[in-house]
Each structure stands twice: as C-alpha cells, then as structure tokens.
C-alpha cells in the first residue's frame, strides 16, 4: 500500500508555477477598484477570441449561464426540442429545461462517450430546433456528421465545451458510423471545438482545463446577431444601461477572474499537452489489462478526464479498492441525465449510456502528474483486477 495519497486532481503545481503573476494580476484589479466589467474582461474576451479563432467571445458568470444564454441567443424556448447526449453533467440538460425547451436524449457511442450522430437522426421531430453535443472529457464529438444533420433539418448547433477548452476537431471520431460530407469535414478540420457550431459554451470552473479561481464561463460565436443578444442578456437585457429591452440575467465574469484567466490562457496548450502525455502513458500501461478498455487517443483530444471502462461488473469494487490504496478516482457520471430523478420515467432507454454509466472510472489526471505516480496507479489497478 502506498504511503502518500494521490488525489484525483491537484491544482497546486499550476498555481505554484504562476504564483507571482497571478498575485500581481489580483493586486492590479484590487488597486483599480473596477470589479465589475473592468478592462481585464474586455481584454480577456479579445485574447480568448483570438486564441480560439472566433469572431465573438462573451464572458459570463458560469458555463451553465453560457449554455442558457447561448440557447436564448439562438431563440430557443417554450415548445422547442433540443437533442443532446444523456451522458453528461446535468448542467447540459438543465440549461435546455431552464429556457423552457425540452431536452431529447440521443444515445452515445461507447467508444467516444459522445453523442452518436446515427442516434440523433431518429430523434428529430417537427419541434426539434437544435442539437447540443458535448465534447465529453475533452474529446471532440463527431461534429462534421452533426453539422450535416443540422443542415439537412435546418437545426442550430450549440456546443457544450465545458470540458474541451483547447480541443480541436481533426475528424478522428471513434465510434461514429455515420458518413459526413468530405466538404464539411475538410472545412472544419483543425478548428477549435466551440467555433464550429452556431454557438459554443465554455466553463472556467476551477477544475476545468482552463480554470479560474471561482466561477466563470464564455459564449463564442461568429454570428453578430447572436453575440449582440448574448451581450444584452448577460446584463439584464439592456444594450444601453437603464434601457432594458428583454428579461436577462446578471451574468458577468468577475474582473478578478478575467485577470487570472489572462495569466493562464497563454499556458493552456502546454497544459493540454501535459494531459495528453498522461493519457498516453496510461493507455500504454493499461493496454493489456484484461477487462479494461482504455479511451481512444484522438487527435485534438484534451483529456479533461482520463476515463476507462471496467467490464465484468467490477467497476465499483475497483473504485473502492483504489480508494483503500490511497488513490482517488471519480465516476463521471453514475446516473445519465435522462435517469435523474427530475426526468425519471419520461424517456425511453438509451442502452449504451445506461451501460457505460456502470463501467466508467476516471483516473487521476492533471498536466504535471508524474510518470512515477501513473505507474503506481496502474500497478494498483492491475493488482485489483487480477484478484
Ligand atoms: C462543468 C460543466 C458545465 C457547467 O459549467 P459551470 O461553469 O460549472 O456552470 C456544463 N456542462 C458540462 C459538460 C460540464 O462539465
């Protein structure tokens, strides 16, 4: 048994490496006294738009708000249906329900954990207005096939990028059996997730790949109209102060968080590379472990989570025994969204999502996780499986 415990995520190495710069940024905002919509917010929006390669970036209070405001900017509400994945954090479906629309769940591919374009087509009705794919665990969804479906049925696409900051689409979509048009695929290859559909929604929750030191979120779009609406909605529905036009929200990114994110943004590619190194090392070390399925190492995948599948009903046992060995792991997600109490009994089975929820286990991952620790984790895992 190992002496020192291994957490599922360690944010300290990153902070240590940027401590002086972050403290300077914080002091600068404190001295300026401009805590709401200070200059750092606009500068962050410009810098992040440039990094992502998108026309508009609108900073908001959280990833959840980015989804809600993004849906509203697209004009989605009462009576509309939005097709999404059952296998995600509840904020995905919650945002759809919160604007008065109905989430419709299309099953996933077990190989990518992402929505299966083949399952989307079967869920389209005259009420369908949009598709909301999630690039789960940082793995780009099969977005070319999704765009083709959206175009054929005149649907909007809003990408949930809460877990995929810095991920790019390269057309390597494990488990997607749908054909996509070559012209679609080549047009979007190399693009950042969140800049491919009509709207992208990001989260800067501290544990995300680009994390703030509090809540934060971002809406991205190339469409001027959606951007204008989103900017208005984040400040109480007013384009001009005290001239409120519609019901909006108080959903601004704190200046302090914007200043911190500006320090972190230039490092994101290097951190995502670190995550890919960790994932590759795990994949190599776990390749021949019976009953363990390692994740697809897709190009552009940024491994927000490193998630394996454990077969033969052993997942809970492995989770428990690793915890006893001092190794923390997580189950994202034990209950698919369509099975949550709020929606219970309302939806037909999504058999793959239901099954995958009993198999997934996310192992410790952060950019600075050492090969030594990865080896310790995989050895412990192997020993438990062999029992
Ligand atoms: C974290 C997350 C969200 C919500 O982001 P918050 O900033 O916590 O509101 C939405 N969707 C997914 C897939 C997430 O992982």
Peptide bond into 360 cis (omega under 30): no
The whole-angstrom separation of Cα 114 and Cα 95 is 18
Pick from 252, 308, 218, 256: which is nearest to 23 by CA? 256
* DSSP string over 153-195: HT-EEEEE-TT-TT-B--S--TT--S---HHHHHHHTTPBTTS
Distance (angstroms) between ligand 1 centre and the Cα of 160 equals 8
Rounded to whole angstroms, what are the CA distances from 312 to 164, 360, 363?
30, 12, 18
The whole-angstrom separation of Cα 306 and Cα 167 is 14
What per-residue confidence (pLDDT) applies to 194? 98
What per-residue confidence (pLDDT) applies to 175? 78
Q: Measuring from each residue's beta carbon to the nearest atom of ligand 1, which residues come in under 6 Å?
A: 62-64, 88-89, 91-92, 134, 160, 162-163, 203, 205, 215, 217
What per-residue confidence (pLDDT) applies to 4? 63
Q: Which CATH number fits domain 268-386: 1.10.260.40, 3.20.20.140, 3.40.50.300, 3.90.1150.10?
A: 3.90.1150.10
Phi and psi torsions of 238, nearest 5°: -125, 125
Contact 153, 124 (CB under 8 A): yes
The whole-number mean pLDDT for each consecutive block of 10 residues of the chain, a chain of 387 residues, reads 78 97 98 97 98 98 98 98 98 98 98 96 97 98 97 98 98 81 94 98 98 98 98 96 94 98 98 98 97 96 98 97 97 97 95 98 98 97 94
Q: Which of 160, 218, 251 to mutate to test the pocket of ligand 1 (most atoms within 8 A of CB)?
A: 160
The whole-angstrom separation of Cα 335 and Cα 358 is 9
What per-residue confidence (pLDDT) applies to 317? 97
Indicate the domain borders of the chain. 12-266, 268-386
Examine domains 12-266 and 268-386 and report if their fold is the same: no
Q: Which of 66, 163, 330 to mutate to test the pocket of ligand 1 (most atoms within 8 A of CB)?
A: 163
Contact 63, 162 (CB under 8 A): yes
The whole-angstrom separation of Cα 227 and Cα 239 is 12
Phi and psi torsions of 52, nearest 5°: -80, -20
The whole-angstrom separation of Cα 286 and Cα 293 is 8
Tokens found for residue 289? 């472990």
Distance (angstroms) between ligand 1 centre and the Cα of 131 equals 17
> What is the third-level CATH fold of 12-266?
3.40.640
């Amino acid at each position: 048994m190992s002496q020192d415990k291994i957490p599922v995520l360690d944010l300290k190495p990153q902070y240590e490496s940027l401590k002086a710069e972050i403290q300077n940024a914080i002091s600068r905002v404190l001295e300026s006294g401009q805590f709401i919509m200070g200059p750092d917010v606009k500068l962050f929006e410009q810098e992040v738009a440039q990094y992502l390669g998108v026309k508009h970036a609108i900073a908001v209070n959280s990833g959840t708000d980015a989804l809600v405001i993004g849906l509203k900017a697209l004009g989605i509400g009462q009576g509309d249906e939005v097709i999404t994945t059952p296998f995600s954090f509840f904020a995905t479906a919650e945002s759809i329900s919160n604007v008065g629309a109905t989430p419709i769940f299309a099953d996933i591919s077990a190989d990518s954990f992402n929505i299966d374009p083949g399952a989307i087509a079967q869920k389209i009705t005259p009420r369908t207005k949009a598709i909301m794919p999630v690039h789960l665990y940082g793995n780009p969804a099969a977005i070319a096939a999704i765009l083709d479906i959206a175009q054929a049925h005149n649907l909007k696409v809003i990408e949930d990028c809460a877990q995929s900051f810095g991920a790019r689409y390269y057309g390597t979509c494990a488990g997607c059996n749908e054909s996509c048009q070559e012209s679609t695929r080549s047009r979007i290859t190399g693009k950042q997730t969140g800049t491919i559909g009509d709207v992208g929604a990001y989260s800067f929750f501290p544990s995300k790949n680009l994390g703030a030191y509090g809540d934060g979120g971002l809406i991205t779009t190339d469409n001027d109209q959606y951007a204008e609406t989103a900017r208005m909605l984040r400040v109480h529905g007013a384009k001009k102060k005290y001239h409120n036009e519609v019901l909006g929200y108080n959903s601004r990114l704190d200046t302090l968080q914007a200043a911190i994110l500006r320090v972190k943004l230039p490092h994101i590619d290097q951190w995502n590379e670190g995550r890919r190194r960790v994932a590759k090392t795990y994949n190599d070390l776990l390749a021949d472990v019976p009953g363990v399925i390692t994740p697809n190492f897709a190009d552009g995948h940024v491994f927000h989570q490193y998630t394996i599948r454990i077969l033969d009903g052993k997942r809970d046992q492995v989770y428990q025994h690793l915890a006893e060995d001092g190794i923390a792991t997580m189950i994202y997600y034990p209950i698919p969204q369509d099975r949550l109490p709020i929606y219970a009994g309302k939806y037909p089975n999504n058999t793959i999502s239901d099954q995958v929820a009993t198999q997934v286990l996310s192992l410790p991952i952060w950019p600075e996780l050492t090969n030594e620790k990865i080896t310790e984790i995989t050895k412990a895992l192997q020993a438990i499986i062999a029992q």
